[in-house]
Every structure is written in structure tokens, then in C-alpha cells.
Amino acid sequence: MTATMTMTAPTTAAVSTAAVPVLPDALSDEEIGRGLVRGDESCLAVAHRRWARLVHTLAARALGDPREAEDVTQQVFLAAWRGRAGYHPERGPVPAWLVGITRRKIADALTARTRRLDLVAAAGAALTPFPDTREGPEHVLDRLVVTRELARLPRVQRDVLTLAFFGDLTQVQIADRTGMPLGTVKSHARRGLQRMRRSLDAA
């Protein structure tokens, strides 16, 4: 009886241990990397939970815009998934690979921002910031004050608000015209208006 119980207990324990699944978040970096190469979507989800904050922090520091950083973060993990076959564990760990992708996506975002700003500047220059001579003196004064305050803003805020004030464009239209994400347009417009309001209050 005793011998039988002694043999049975380890067998039961072995079966019980084998039946316990490995939790995805408990995977090592190497296991996540191998899973990505195999096309395991759960490993992509774990990688996102583990390193999305790192990617977002790098992007936010480089771009100075949390919303653009969010876009870059999404692009990084999408690029990692699409290019997973190009990941080679022997060349470095997964976080280093993601940082490399992040740097490339940041460079792409900065290049796109330059193109957008050039487009906005060209569109703003094509607008007439000065009023029609048929407008009343109060309206003329208002527009001149707005023009003066716009000139004091950072370039991207100034360009967005120029399209809004003088181009009479909605934020959705500004986003369509410039290629900026709508959230970025709203953010620049809000910060620009806040700066103008503080300046006018001080005056």
C-alpha cells in the first residue's frame, strides 16, 4: 500500500505541473523574439505591453508632441510585426531591435513634419492677412491684433491658427490640407490660443 502511494504521488504531480500553461507575460525577451518570428500574435501583445512605454518616451522626447509619439509607437509595433522575419536574436535583444525601428520612424515623422510645415507656410502665405478696406475700423483693429499675436507664436501653432483665422478652415480641413493628424491639429490650435489669450490678458 505504501509503495503504491509513493509511486503514485510523483506521477500525479508531474501531470499537474505539465498541465499548467506558461503565462504570456512571464515569457523571457528571447521567447518573445522567437514567438514574433513564428508569427505568434500573443507575443506581439506582450512585446507591446512590455516596451510600448519605452518607444513612446523616445518618440515624445524627439518629437516634442505626445500625440505624434502615439502615432509613432503604433507604427513601430506594426512595422515590427510586418518585418518580424527580419529579426535575428543573435544580433541583439528585442528591445534593441524595437529601438532601432523607433529611430527610423522618428526620422520619418520629422521628415513628414518638415513637408507639412512647408505646405502650411505656403498655404498661409497665399492667404491675405490684412482686411478688406470696406471693413469697419473695429474689425480692422481686431484682425491686426490677431496678426500681431500670431507672429509671436511658435511656427507650427502660428501656421495652424493662420489657416483657421484667415483661411476660415475647420480643424478637420486643416488636417486634410496639411496631412497632420487631427489630434495634432487640435493640440497645436489649443496651445496657440492659450498662449495668445495669456499674451492679451497681460497686455
Q: What are the tens digits of pLDDT across the range 117-135?
A: 665 555 555 544 444 444 4
Average pLDDT score, the chain? 75
pLDDT at 141 over 80: no
Q: Could you tell me the pLDDT band of residue 180, with boundaries at 50, 70 and 90?
A: confident
For residues 169 and 144, which has the higher predicted lDDT (pLDDT)? 169
pLDDT digits (tens, 9 = 90+) for 20-67: 344 566 788 899 999 999 999 999 999 999 999 999 999 988 888 888
pLDDT of residue 150: 75
Q: CA distances (Å), 22 to each of 17, 36, 43, in order?
A: 10, 16, 12
- 74 pLDDT band, cuts 50/70/90, is very high
Distance CA 85, CA 69 (A): 25
pLDDT of residue 76: 95
Could you give the percent of the chain with pLDDT greater than 90?
28
Helix locations, the chain, DSSP H: 2-19, 29-38, 41-63, 66-82, 94-126, 137-151, 155-165, 171-178, 182-202
Determine the average pLDDT of the residues in 87-97.
Answer: 90
Statement: residue 69 has pLDDT above 80 = yes
* Mean pLDDT, range 187-198, rounded to an integer: 84
Which of 184, 146, 185 is CA-nearest to residue 169?
185
For residues 171-187, give the mean pLDDT. 84
Residue with the larger pLDDT of the pair 75 and 153 = 75
C-alpha cell at 32: 518573445
